[in-house]
Amino acid sequence: MRVALDTNRYVDLCKGLTRTVALLEEAEAILLPFVVLGELRAGFAHGRRTAENERILRSFLLTDGVRVLFADDQTTHHYAAVFRQLRKQGTPIPTNDMWLAALVLQHNLALHARDKHFDHLPQLVRV
């Protein structure tokens, strides 16, 4: 299985949470959406362990099977569909999470995230 990792699950991985570690050890590929990378680095910049957190992240990104996933033109179509669906349902979610959902749908990934608002998008495969 190819897994997209949300920010909170990256933190879980760094904390060594058993469920997340086991899931990612079994994953065929781990994809870190660009918005997650941005959220992580924003958090690092605001924290007291910026250099250490960046070193850990860089090491993770160099791991076999891990790559950053960027948006392209096709992603914007998925984003628009997600936006429309959520608006029609009256269930908005944060903008970064709409980008994350668009990338997951575009690339047929399983999403590993704790956020309950992703439940408003039943077409997402969640793990």
What's the number of domains the chain is made of?
A: 1
* pLDDT band with cut points at 50, 70 and 90 for residue 90: very high
The domain that holds 122 is classified in CATH as: 3.40.50.1010
* pLDDT band with cut points at 50, 70 and 90 for residue 113: very high
* pLDDT band with cut points at 50, 70 and 90 for residue 16: very high
pLDDT at 78: 98
Our measurement of the distance from residue 3's CA atom to the centroid of its chain's CA atoms, rounded to an integer in Å, reads: 9
Mean pLDDT over each residue of the chain, to the nearest integer: 97
Rounded to an integer, the average pLDDT of 63-72 is 97
Rounded to an integer, the average pLDDT of 51-69 is 97
C-alpha neighbours within 13 Å on the C-beta side of residue 40 = 26
C-alpha neighbours within 13 Å on the C-beta side of residue 84 = 6
Provide the domain limits for residue 95.
2-126
pLDDT at 50: 96
Rounded to an integer, the average pLDDT of 34-55 is 96
